[in-house]
Structure 1
Amino acid sequence: MKAVIVTIGDEILIGQIVDTNSGFIAKCLNKIGIEVNEMLSISDDKKHILDTLSNLQNKFDLVIITGGLGPTKDDITKKTLCEYMNDTLVYNNQVLDHVTQLIEVFFKRPITQINKDQALVPSRCEVLFNQVGTAPGMWMEKEDTVFISLPGVPFEMKYLIENQVIPKLVEKFDRPYIIHQTLLTYGVGESLLAERIEKWEDNLPDFIKLAYLPNPGRVRLRLSARGSNEEVLKKALEEQINLLKPQIEDCLVGLDDDEPLEFVLGRLLSSKGFSISTAESCTGGKIASVITSVSGASVYFKGSVVSYATEVKEDILAIPHELIQKESVVSSAVAEAMALSIQKKFQTDFAIATTGNAGPNKGDSDAEVGTVFVGIATPKGVFSEEFNFGQPREKVIDRAVNKGLELIYKEILKNY
């Protein structure tokens, strides 16, 4: 079964917002065995929308459209779809009651005609009821193609995909199984990793594909198996992973099911009952931000001090002025002192500290631009490592964040 995702909105095309809807929808479709062949972004233009729908007709089994279902005049998707389907708009009483309830009871204001018109839908469509918003989703069929139109507001789209669209697709269509397994590696670049596992990759069965998903400091290896027998696919993936693991054991963090390291680290900390804190200079609080992006992080994350200026390191973290003068603010000694200080201040089991020159100019240190020291405090002591991440500035910061998470994860896994 082939699918295409179409996002409608000039705000996407001019770069005002980033399209996150397509990625979410594609991931959900892939999990149920529906292959996404294309993603398109088009303007809020009637002719453009009609031409796009016509071009996709019968070439794809499924077309999922997001955007353009709002109450204002520039939201033309619903009327255009109605024209394409040679249909007429009618009021849906369930949607109208829901919109009225939201406006008059929740927002406590009189409902207007523009609000009521949210309940207009093509007469032959199947309404996908939107419990969390005013614009309903719409399921329409023409010849060999199913067209599904959803609101562009991400949380409304996600609700409809998870609660209406996916269950209906699963019920209606026979689909192959697509199973993914992802291995998370750190510290070895994509090209070196590819060279190391080339022979193994060349011997993969035809129904298993390998994808390299690189990020600064990390590479995810995603194995995808596709076929009609789920148990056969699972067994084949397990066999291939067991063959691969010995070849990458020095850089393998674990199986992450497409989850970033902060999720894996969070589960590890939670399972062992450990706590963590951060003292950040060159990373500017980004390690703390990444850790706390995980729901439930309050169980193990206690707090952070962003000691960007040297005087903050001295005044808040109590790093001796003499140590900074002797060793330099960007040094192993200062990174370790920062880690120990924040560990003590917040009474945590572990702590991460960063100090460095992210660039483009040098700060209060003569260390080369791109130099970063990461300090790790543990219940048994403290250590640090030095890195040079080059440039640009954003790369230095991202790599320092990833390296801090990697070091603490490996330390806990290895010794605790």
Structure 2
Amino acid sequence: MKATIVTVGDEILIGQIIDTNSGVIAKSLDKIGIGVHEMLSITDDKQHILNTLSSLQNKVDVVIITGGLGPTKDDITKKTLCEYFDDQLIINEKVLTHVTQLIEQYFKRPITKLNQDQALVPSKCEVLFNQVGTAPGMWLQKENTVFISLPGVPYEMKYLIENEVIPRLITKYERPFIIHKTILTYGVGESLLAERIETWEDNLPEFIKLAYLPNPGRVRLRLSARGVDENLLKKEISTQVEKLQLIISDCIVGFEEDETIEVVLGKLLTNKKLTISTAESCSGGKIASIITSVSGASNYFKGSIVSYATETKVNVLGISQEIIDEFSVVSKQVAEAMALQSQKIFKTDFAIATTGNAGPDKGDADAEVGTVFIAIATPKGVFSEKFNFGQPREKVIDRTVNQGLEIIYKEILKNY
């Protein structure tokens, strides 16, 4: 089975907003065995929409359209659908009642004509009732293709996908099983990793595909199996993961789908009842931000000091001016002092500290641009590592964050 996702809106094409809807839809379809053939973003133009629908007719099984269903004049998707399906708009009384109650109860004002028009739907469509918004979804079929139109507001689209679209697709179609397993690795680059697992990769069964998903400092390996026997797929995926562990156990930090290093680290800290804090300079608080993006992080993360300027390192974090003068602000000594001070101030078991030159200029330090020191304070003492992450600035910061998380994770896993 194949599906195409179509986003409608000039705001996407000019870069004003980022299309997040397609990713949510694609993941939802993938989980029920429907592969996404392509994703398209098109302009708010009637003829463009008509041409797109026509080009997809009978080429894919499902077309999911998001956007263009609002109350304003530039939202033309419903009218265009009517033209494509040789249909007309009619008022859906259930939707009208819902819109009226929503406007009058929550916004405390009478419903307007534009609001009432939200209840207009093509007469041939099956209405997908939107409990969390005013624009309903619509399900239409022409020959061998189902066309599903959803609002572009992300939380409304997600509600309809989960509660209306996916259940209907499951009922309507017989689908293959698609099983994914993602292995999260740290500290080994994509090319070196590929060399290490080349023989294993070459011997994968034909129904299992491997994808490399690299980021600075980390590579995710995604195994995807497709077929009609779910138990066979799961068994073979598990077998292949066990074989892979024997080859690269030193750089694997997690296995669950979408389980990032911060999630894995959080689970480790929680299970071992340990706490952590940060003192960040060149990373600008990004390590703390990523750690606290995980639900429940308050159980193990106690705080951060972003001592970006030299005077902040001295006046707030309490680093000796003599150490800075003697060794430079970007140095092993300052990084380790920062980690120890964070550990002391927040009374944590561990602390991560960063100091470096992210660039493009040297700032207060003598070290070359791209130089970074990452220090880890532990219950047994403190240690640090020196890196040169090159340029550009964004790369330096991202690699600092990833490397810091990797070092602390491996330290706890190995010694505590």
In which range does the TM-score fall when normalised by the shorter chain?
Answer: over 0.9
Letter in 2 for 1:154: P
Match of 1:156 in 2: 156
2:348 corresponds to 1:327: no
Match of 2:198 in 1: 198
Letter in 1 for 2:263: F
Superposition pairs for residues 129-144 of structure 1, below 5 Å? 129-144=129-144
2:273 corresponds to 1:273: yes
User: Percent same amino acid at aligned positions?
Assistant: 76
Superposition pairs for residues 131-280 of structure 1, below 5 Å? 131-280=131-280
Deviations 1:227-250 (A, max 9, x none): 111110111011111111121122
Aligned mates of 1:404, 1:144 — CA distance in 2: 52
Contact preservation (8 Å) 1:356, 1:371: yes
Aligned mates of 2:335, 2:261 — CA distance in 1: 22
Secondary structure at the counterpart of residue 64 of structure 2: strand
Deviations 1:38-62 (A, max 9, x none): 1000000000000100010000000
State the shift of 1:154 in Å.
0.9
2:338 corresponds to 1:338: yes
Deviations 1:1-28 (A, max 9, x none): 1100000000111111111111111111
Contact preservation (8 Å) 2:254, 2:260: no
Deviations 1:348-405 (A, max 9, x none): 2221110000001101111111011111112222111111100000000000011111
State the shift of 1:167 in Å.
1.5
2:2 corresponds to 1:2: yes
Contact preservation (8 Å) 1:124, 1:140: yes
State the shift of 1:251 in Å.
1.2
Letter in 2 for 1:146: V
State the shift of 1:271 in Å.
2.3
Superposition pairs for residues 1-400 of structure 1, below 5 Å? 1-400=1-400
Aligned mates of 1:383, 1:165 — CA distance in 2: 53
Letter in 1 for 2:400: A
CA RMSD in angstroms comes to 1.0
Aligned mates of 1:162, 1:327 — CA distance in 2: 57
State the shift of 1:272 in Å.
2.3
Aligned mates of 1:66, 1:387 — CA distance in 2: 45
Aligned mates of 2:177, 2:306 — CA distance in 1: 47
Aligned mates of 1:208, 1:81 — CA distance in 2: 39
Deviations 1:135-182 (A, max 9, x none): 111111111000110111111111111111111111221110100001
Secondary structure at the counterpart of residue 231 of structure 1: helix
Deviations 1:194-237 (A, max 9, x none): 11111111111000000000001100000001111111011101
Aligned mates of 1:271, 1:167 — CA distance in 2: 36
State the shift of 1:37 in Å.
0.7
2:395 corresponds to 1:412: no
Aligned mates of 2:102, 2:276 — CA distance in 1: 43
Aligned mates of 2:395, 2:286 — CA distance in 1: 13
Letter in 2 for 1:179: I
Contact preservation (8 Å) 1:375, 1:385: yes
Letter in 1 for 2:155: F
Deviations 1:72-111 (A, max 9, x none): 0000001111111111111111111111111111111111
Letter in 2 for 1:241: V
Aligned mates of 1:256, 1:367 — CA distance in 2: 39
Letter in 2 for 1:236: E
- How many residues in Structure 1 have an aligned counterpart in Structure 2? 416
Contact preservation (8 Å) 1:69, 1:78: yes
Letter in 2 for 1:96: L
Contact preservation (8 Å) 2:254, 2:261: no
Q: TM-score, normalised by structure 1?
A: 0.98
